[in-house]
């Protein structure tokens, strides 16, 4: 199984996890996403890059229907998860979000204890049958988010009492704890120091063995390091989407090249 995966990755025949076609997003009259097609493969890290305000977060939020919570936001086009249309009227977004987890751009821990923060998802989804089980999930999640060593002695202290970077890792642990199939991460490392960043990148790489991960980042190096696929957004359009190696070494579009080399942004 393990070596299979390596082979799969190398020849790039991973299954399609999510598929977006002709997606447009409007905030009232603002056309924030213009006719975007993206394929998100299983067991793959997909990076979204692009200048600030180009719609990366907006598109990310379409993938777990968090845009539904914004009144003025309107999404058209089709997005599928395992070939099921997630915008189908039959779909309950709550059920979708349990499968497509999210880490937000700004750390937003609940004002509860660190333990309760991580345990919340497993609790509401009934992922654990007893306390010992839950303890184990919490520990594993915190370990994966590289927070265990700092948090293990203060599990009952409020999550809001952590530093910004620790809070962000707590949010990652919280998202991982629910066992999502797809994990959306909006600039998860923007508040982290290089060591924690490396740990989170390691986590992302590890998560790739089971899930597909979509990460928004402003760091070209990070995108190059962790992702297999990269999508470059510019002014709401998807300019280029393809193999990370290809995008970073030999982009097809001149706009991609100027962004990567730091000329627009």
Ligand X SMILES: Nc1ncnc2c1ncn2[C@@H]1O[C@H](COP(=O)(O)OP(=O)(O)OP(=O)(O)O)[C@@H](O)[C@H]1O
Summarize as ranges the residues that interact with ligand X (CB under 6 A).
Answer: 27, 30, 32, 50, 52-58, 70, 105
Q: What number of CA atoms fall less than 13 Å from residue 172's CA on the CB side?
A: 34
Q: For the CB of residue 58, give the shortest distance to Mg ion in the complex, in Å.
A: 8
Q: Which is nearer to other proteins, 73 or 239 (CB)?
A: 73
Helix (H) or strand (E) holding 84: strand 84-85
In the structure encoding, which two tokens stand for residue 40, read together? 């998100």
What is the contact surface with other proteins in residues (CB under 8 A)?
64, 66, 69, 71, 94-99, 101-102, 104, 106, 108-111, 120-121, 124-125, 158, 160, 171, 174-175, 178
Q: SS3 for 125?
A: helix
* Contact of residue 52 among Mg ion, ligand X, other proteins, none (CB under 5-8 Å per partner type): ligand X
Q: Which is nearer to ligand X, 53 or 161 (CB)?
A: 53
Q: For the CB of residue 66, give the shortest distance to Mg ion in the complex, in Å.
A: 12
In the structure encoding, which two tokens stand for residue 129, read together? 């049958």
Does residue 58 contact residue 25 with C-beta atoms inside 8 Å?
A: yes
Q: Which of residues 23-52 bind Mg ion (CB under 5 A)?
A: none
Determine the distance from the C-alpha atom of residue 183 to the mean position of all C-alpha atoms in its chain, rounded to a whole number: 4
Q: Which is nearer to ligand X, 56 or 229 (CB)?
A: 56
**Does residue number 57 form part of the binding site for Mg ion (CB under 5 A)?**
yes
Does residue 239 contact residue 253 with C-beta atoms inside 8 Å?
A: yes
* Contact of residue 53 among other proteins, ligand X, Mg ion, none (CB under 5-8 Å per partner type): ligand X
**Does residue number 67 form part of the binding site for Mg ion (CB under 5 A)?**
no
Does residue 20 contact residue 47 with C-beta atoms inside 8 Å?
A: no
Q: For the CB of residue 45, give the shortest distance to Mg ion in the complex, in Å.
A: 18
The separation between the first and the last C-alpha atoms of the chain, rounded to the nearest angstrom, is: 42
Does residue 10 contact residue 36 with C-beta atoms inside 8 Å?
A: no
Task: Write out the residues near Mg ion by the rule CB under 5 A.
Answer: 57, 105
């Amino acid at each position: 199984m393990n070596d299979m995966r390596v082979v799969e990755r190398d020849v790039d025949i991973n299954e399609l996890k999510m598929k977006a076609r002709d997606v447009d997003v409007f905030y009232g009259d603002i056309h924030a996403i213009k006719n975007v097609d993206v394929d998100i493969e299983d067991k793959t890290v997909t990076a979204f890059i692009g200048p600030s305000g180009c719609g990366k977060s907006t598109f990310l939020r379409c993938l777990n229907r968090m845009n539904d919570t914004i009144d003025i936001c309107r999404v058209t086009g089709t997005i599928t998860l395992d070939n099921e249309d997630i915008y189908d009227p039959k779909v309950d977004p709550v059920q979708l979000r349990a499968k497509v987890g999210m880490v937000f751009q700004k750390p937003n821990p609940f004002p509860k204890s660190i333990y309760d923060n991580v345990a919340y998802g497993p609790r509401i989804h009934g992922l654990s049958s007893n306390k010992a089980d839950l303890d184990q999930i919490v520990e594993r999640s915190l370990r994966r988010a590289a927070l265990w060593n700092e948090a293990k002695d203060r599990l009952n202290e409020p999550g809001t009492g952590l530093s910004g970077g620790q809070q962000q890792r707590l949010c990652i642990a919280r998202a991982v704890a629910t066992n999502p199939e797809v994990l959306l991460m909006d600039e998860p490392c923007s508040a982290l120091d290089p060591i924690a960043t490396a740990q989170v990148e390691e986590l992302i790489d590890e998560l790739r063995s089971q899930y597909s991960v979509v990460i928004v980042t402003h760091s070209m190096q990070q995108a190059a390091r962790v992702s297999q696929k990269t999508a470059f957004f510019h002014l709401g359009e998807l300019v280029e989407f393809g193999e990370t190696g290809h995008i970073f070494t030999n982009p097809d579009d001149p706009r991609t090249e100027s962004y990567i080399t730091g000329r627009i942004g």
